[in-house]
Structure 1
Amino acid sequence: MASEHEWQAARRRFIDREGGPTPAADDVDLGPLAEQFVTLGQELNIASESGVIGVLERVVQRAHALVPGADMVSVTLRENDGGFHTPVETDPLATRADHIQYETGEGPCVEATATSGSGFTLSRDLARDPRYPAFGPRVVELGVTALCATGMFPGGDPPRLGALNYHFRDAAGLDDVDRDAMLILASYAAVALQSARNLEVEQLRSAQLAEALESRDVIGQAKGILMQRRNASAEEAFDVLRRASQDLNVKLRDVATTIASRHSEL
């Protein structure tokens, strides 16, 4: 991970270059900031294929590298019913700290997810922060004295998808925090998270469709066998299947599968 000196040097090069001649394609110095996020974008694109958890695990790894002063990093996700949970963290203690926020309804993670603004929330002194009278003292007992969070998406209308949470045992770790880089990371994380969720939904739909088509085929086979053996109509054959399913308390598809696979014994 690039040092703070390298980050600042890259920024100065960008400012000095702005307004000047456009450099040749092979002469562009991305700098540590751009290189980190180009790499992150590639990683998240690959991780999205492994699902939501794969994306979030990659995100917390990058977040921890981005804020080396943080002792722990976690992800808060907002549930459809308005609740919260922590699916991924770098230390189980972070999950315990997050759950205190969810129980009390207080804390930077909840605030970054549920309130308007940039999506960046910070507390340097949780023990005395008047915003969190219930959460602060309890989390300090766990050894977490400071915390900051970035909402996903930053700047978007709340409630957001969730938040990236950075836990500090010593508030001095906040001194080198790069707020802009953290907000960019939260944006990347939100896009990748939504992409992974959509992919999982589509995969579920495809699986359900395949199962439905397979069920229809096997039920059709069973109906054909019954129509032939009993000289019955399609409606009568289906009624036989339905009544057998109810009487045996077995799924209609399973009854049809048994008939189709053992028709020679019937």
Structure 2
Amino acid sequence: MQTESTPPHGFAVDTHCHLFLMEGDAAATVRKARRGGVERLVCVGIDPASSRRSLEMAESFRGVFSTAGMHPHSASDFDQAAGAVIEELLADPLVVGVGETGLDYYRRLSPVEDQQRVFRTHVALSRETGKPLVVHVREAWDDALRILEEERAERVVLHCFSGDQGVAKEAGDRGYFLSFAGNVTYPNAERLRDAATVAPEGHVLAETDSPFLAPQPRRGSPNEPANVIDVLATLAAVRGLNLEPMVEVATEASLRAFPLIR
């Protein structure tokens, strides 16, 4: 279990990674991130098995925390047994969020009806536990925002934010957190960078979604938590900040989004 503490400022946070999907030595990956100033990692589960594995990672490495949930791609597999495992994991203080959950109408690997049903269940779990909801949305913004409102979602983290300025403004008005990933660095991501300019201060987070979405300077290689600094550098540029204050603002927002990672 974690026994050491780190000062609450002066470091970066990767709010969304999947250590269990990375090749190589997880300990080396975590050490490399820490050497680069990334001292908090949220390892996000995508089903009961990976959620349990994420907790094992959190128990093994200082500064690593986990979440528990069912990805929309696997929503059709969500049954009573899966729900029981996720609820059990959420009782652990190292499990700091519910998800990832949400809606993905791009690939539709589970029927829309199943995705929406499981999404609503996760919103309820977030409200019951008081832990933030980690939300995946792809080509489903209207339904996702509607369900979040209908189910009275409270602390919401929009992972790998992909909306436009209008969605960013609406999400910000609701008090949601917008977490930007490596794709914000891509040359063709002008619309996403425009959204990053209007996201409210104090609600902008940075993530890697590693091992996916390596930022532009590292495309072609597996992504890793250390690369969240590249995301923060792009956010700083589009928001008119130097890197250091951008890191500070994003870290403060991350600690409010995920209070248990303090």
| Fold conserved between structures, TM > 0.5 | no
Task: State TM-score, norm by structure 1.
Answer: 0.25
Tell me which of the two structures has the higher relative contact order, counting C-alpha pairs closer than 8 angstroms and 6 or more residues apart: 2
Task: State TM-score, norm by structure 2.
Answer: 0.25
Higher CA-based Rg: 1
Higher strand share: 2
